[in-house]
Chain A
């Protein structure tokens, strides 16, 4: 029995046991459902082994939505705990665990896959490519991300959640102060997902630079593709830093090294520095593709081309460079001196300039446009004032002298939610509504969609604006309770009400999907929004090979030109198309990674070694494998095309 004791949770509560039961029932229901409907073969052939970028995209989407609700439940629990002074809904330990998992889940397992979903679905279509450069690597990226996310998510049921914050600062994250295996979960689950993300970065840079449709110059790429390219460049340069940081943290905890320890010369500030050298660019990995989606939406629904295309591109390039030069602003108060702080203050404020350029470009796109208030456009319109507010408080925080007042208060929490929610989350929801018909052949209900935007926005303002005030009044973040005499009570209650309204907004999204699946018209064109870029030039549903004939491009709005200016996109005859084969290897290898991670977390050395050998065995098999893909014949293409055109 002693062996199994390590898997027990150190701080059990009723809620955790209830989740265990719920998770168990869900698992049994999934297995039973798949067996009853005889869907195992379908699942394996069409999804688990797929290398199709569109299907991988949809799997990213499903994971992101699941994680959105997991992180959302964390958020509601925190707001409920803080709603009234001296609340006892959660104790300090549970609160610590919940704010840690909320941060990690929302950033790494919700926002990241959501962006990966858009990149996978949209980028190859926008550049007129058949797939990404390395389809199988793409599948491996997804499965590594997925297994990392699952590994992280079981932590609260097996062995205990991480509780040192999403930043996991040392020495708090050291064995001495974080005794449970929770922080091991943090170090290893993120490592596995991070390797997947790094491979995505390499894959998409190659895809975008090498696989564009003939005629598409760099400065003619649609803005979302540009933003993805830059985000992926940031990924390739930032994620290896995280890899090293997590490896060092793992070694400190498992092998007794002294990178971040207090004794034996270790330096805990090194962790903070390395973490944020990755962490700050990570913020821009999230926001730049979101900006790309807004750019597409603004120009589509203003019925005009994007204003200031070149300045949009250059501002993103500048943001990506500056993103690597601002990391120390996350710890102005930790004593690196006035000179260093001043430099990082200035670089931080400098980021506001290219970001401002983008805001003005969007506004000038709207100027004299024929604006159409669809749901995606409504999200985008909401984004501008709300995000700008977050940007302005960001400049406030960038002033290092003043930061001593804001540091570690709810003011900061309000600021980063103020940029992430209108900036990233709204873009994801807007993009989801925008691309939904392309994926599934019907539109989401516009009326419910607009209700959702308003519900979310009202909830958002109520939830986060009060935090600016309590933060300036001195309410510290990450504290599980406060006394009545602080006077923070009423405003925190307002925050809780706002959070509850936001929760209603997210439920509305689910209802909208349900409603639209049942009632929405299936009789829509392949271009329901009258859009401008190539992804709308192919059929719905999108055929496996994307485009029967590779499109030829002469401007950044090739599809619009073909609709309005007589540009001919598809010239020539059908030719046989080379496609990659499906493979179960990425899935199997990721499962071995999961076992490897789990064994390391619990210091089970023999399974860890066996799993390591298993990973190398997969690599070896892959090296010796001969796989030249397959061809789709002209006959098959003709059949598919005539069927899709007829429908």
Chain B
């Protein structure tokens, strides 16, 4: 494998460059996935069929908490990649651990939020509104869950194998994924929660 030392480690081989490029295209597909979910949500959000609507079930406290947790985690993963570029493995792993813990915190609040919804009679079968709401939030949450395990595996690999072109590449791609989930959350926060509470 030819390693080009003039480039950052994650870009240093041909295979690495292809993987990063390919992942950007994958994120393009993910945008379409969430765009479709949003389109369905905006079509169905006022079809509550006698069940609760957004204003009744959305609460600012857990949502705000989730937003803070996820946005902070996006910042810490950025710091992690910065540390990786400087070659400081320990700092990088530290930031990755913080990121994953924040992600776990986000997921815990989201699970609590879902349980609350179900208790308030807004389960996935209640109405078209709740179906599309929970499908959209659930798809994002499933992405975060997957990301948690993926990030964990990469963290273990960095610990065991050190910073190599392969592990740096994986970490970088993971950071792209994590930032993307954050962007999606910003849309969810603004157009599902805030709009729904107004």
| B25 close to A241 (CB less than 8 A) | no
List of B residues within 8 angstroms of A616 by Cβ? 149
| B33 close to A133 (CB less than 8 A) | no
List of 4 A-B pairs having minimum Cβ-Cβ separation, nearest first: A265-B47, A265-B128, A265-B49, A257-B131
The yes or no answer to B8 lying at the interface (CB within 8 A) is: no
Given contacts A264-B127, A267-B128, contact A203 B29 (CB under 8 A): no
- Give the docked Cα–Cα distance between A236 and B32 (Å): 8
Contacts from A to B (Cβ < 8 Å): 133-134, 198, 201-203, 205-206, 209-211, 236-241, 243-245, 247-248, 251, 255-259, 261, 263-267, 270, 274, 277, 578, 616, 620, 623-624, 626, 628
Could you tell me the dominant secondary structure of chain B's interface residues?
helix
List of A residues within 8 angstroms of B157 by Cβ? 623-624
List of A residues within 8 angstroms of B28 by Cβ? 236-237
Partner of A267, one of B29, B43, B135: B43
| A259 close to B131 (CB less than 8 A) | yes
**In whole Å, how far is A263's beta carbon from the nearest beta carbon of chain B?**
7
In the complex, identify which listed stretch (B15-23, B68-76, B92-100, B114-122) lies at the interface while the others stay far away. B15-23
- Give the docked Cα–Cα distance between A241 and B28 (Å): 12
| A206 close to B40 (CB less than 8 A) | no
Q: Which of A205, A239, A258 has the most CB of B within 10 A?
A: A258
- Give the docked Cα–Cα distance between A133 and B17 (Å): 10
The yes or no answer to B176 lying at the interface (CB within 8 A) is: no
Closest residue on chain A to residue B48 by CB atoms: A265
- Give the docked Cα–Cα distance between A630 and B125 (Å): 52
Q: How many A-B residue pairs have CB under 8 A?
A: 119
List of B residues within 8 angstroms of A277 by Cβ? 36
29 contacts between A and B (CB under 8 A): A134-B19, A201-B29, A202-B22, A210-B18, A210-B21, A237-B28, A240-B36, A241-B32, A241-B33, A248-B40, A248-B135, A251-B124, A251-B131, A255-B124, A255-B125, A258-B49, A258-B126, A258-B130, A259-B40, A259-B132, A264-B51, A264-B125, A265-B47, A266-B128, A267-B44, A578-B1, A620-B153, A623-B157, A624-B153
Closest residue on chain B to residue A199 by CB atoms: B26
List of A residues within 8 angstroms of B126 by Cβ? 258, 264
Given contacts A203-B22, A241-B32, A265-B49, contact A623 B153 (CB under 8 A): yes
| B29 close to A239 (CB less than 8 A) | yes
- Give the docked Cα–Cα distance between A205 and B24 (Å): 11
The yes or no answer to B154 lying at the interface (CB within 8 A) is: yes
List of A residues within 8 angstroms of B132 by Cβ? 259
| B127 close to A258 (CB less than 8 A) | yes
List of B residues within 8 angstroms of A257 by Cβ? 124-125, 131, 135
List of A residues within 8 angstroms of B128 by Cβ? 258-259, 261, 264-267
List of A residues within 8 angstroms of B135 by Cβ? 247-248, 251, 257, 259
Contacts from B to A (Cβ < 8 Å): 1, 17-19, 21-22, 25-26, 28-30, 32-33, 36-37, 39-40, 43-44, 47-49, 51, 124-132, 135, 149-150, 153-154, 156-157, 166, 170
Closest residue on chain B to residue A580 by CB atoms: B15
| A623 close to B150 (CB less than 8 A) | yes
List of B residues within 8 angstroms of A245 by Cβ? 36
- Give the docked Cα–Cα distance between A195 and B30 (Å): 12
Could you tell me the dominant secondary structure of chain A's interface residues?
helix
List of B residues within 8 angstroms of A628 by Cβ? 1
List of A residues within 8 angstroms of B19 by Cβ? 134
| B131 close to A258 (CB less than 8 A) | yes
Q: Which of B25, B33, B39, B126 has the most CB of A within 10 A?
A: B25
- Give the docked Cα–Cα distance between A267 and B49 (Å): 12
- Give the docked Cα–Cα distance between A516 and B135 (Å): 54
Closest residue on chain B to residue A238 by CB atoms: B32
**In whole Å, how far is B96's beta carbon from the nearest beta carbon of chain A?**
15
**In whole Å, how far is B33's beta carbon from the nearest beta carbon of chain A?**
4
List of B residues within 8 angstroms of A259 by Cβ? 40, 44, 128, 131-132, 135
- Give the docked Cα–Cα distance between A256 and B130 (Å): 12
| B25 close to A206 (CB less than 8 A) | yes
Closest residue on chain B to residue A237 by CB atoms: B32
| B29 close to A237 (CB less than 8 A) | yes
List of A residues within 8 angstroms of B51 by Cβ? 264
| A264 close to B49 (CB less than 8 A) | yes
| A244 close to B40 (CB less than 8 A) | yes
**In whole Å, how far is B62's beta carbon from the nearest beta carbon of chain A?**
23
Q: Which of B1, B30, B125 has the most CB of A within 10 A?
A: B125
List of B residues within 8 angstroms of A247 by Cβ? 135
**In whole Å, how far is B46's beta carbon from the nearest beta carbon of chain A?**
9
List of B residues within 8 angstroms of A261 by Cβ? 128
Partner of B25, one of A202, A263, A578: A202
Given contacts A202-B26, A237-B29, A243-B33, contact A623 B131 (CB under 8 A): no
| B32 close to A240 (CB less than 8 A) | yes
List of A residues within 8 angstroms of B48 by Cβ? 265
Closest residue on chain B to residue A616 by CB atoms: B149
List of A residues within 8 angstroms of B130 by Cβ? 258
List of B residues within 8 angstroms of A266 by Cβ? 44, 47, 128, 131
| A210 close to B17 (CB less than 8 A) | yes
Closest residue on chain B to residue A274 by CB atoms: B36
Partner of A244, one of B22, B37, B47: B37
A241-B33, A265-B47, A620-B153 are known; give 12 further A-B pairs, CB within 8 A: A134-B19, A202-B29, A210-B18, A210-B21, A236-B29, A240-B33, A256-B125, A257-B124, A263-B49, A265-B129, A266-B131, A623-B153
- Give the docked Cα–Cα distance between A626 and B132 (Å): 40
**In whole Å, how far is B47's beta carbon from the nearest beta carbon of chain A?**
3
Given contacts A244-B36, A259-B128, A259-B132, contact A206 B43 (CB under 8 A): no
- Give the docked Cα–Cα distance between A247 and B139 (Å): 11
**In whole Å, how far is B44's beta carbon from the nearest beta carbon of chain A?**
6
- Give the docked Cα–Cα distance between A274 and B43 (Å): 11
**In whole Å, how far is B172's beta carbon from the nearest beta carbon of chain A?**
15
- Give the docked Cα–Cα distance between A258 and B134 (Å): 11
Given contacts A240-B36, A251-B135, A264-B126, contact A133 B22 (CB under 8 A): yes
Closest residue on chain A to residue B166 by CB atoms: A626
| A274 close to B18 (CB less than 8 A) | no
List of B residues within 8 angstroms of A251 by Cβ? 124, 131, 135
**In whole Å, how far is B65's beta carbon from the nearest beta carbon of chain A?**
27
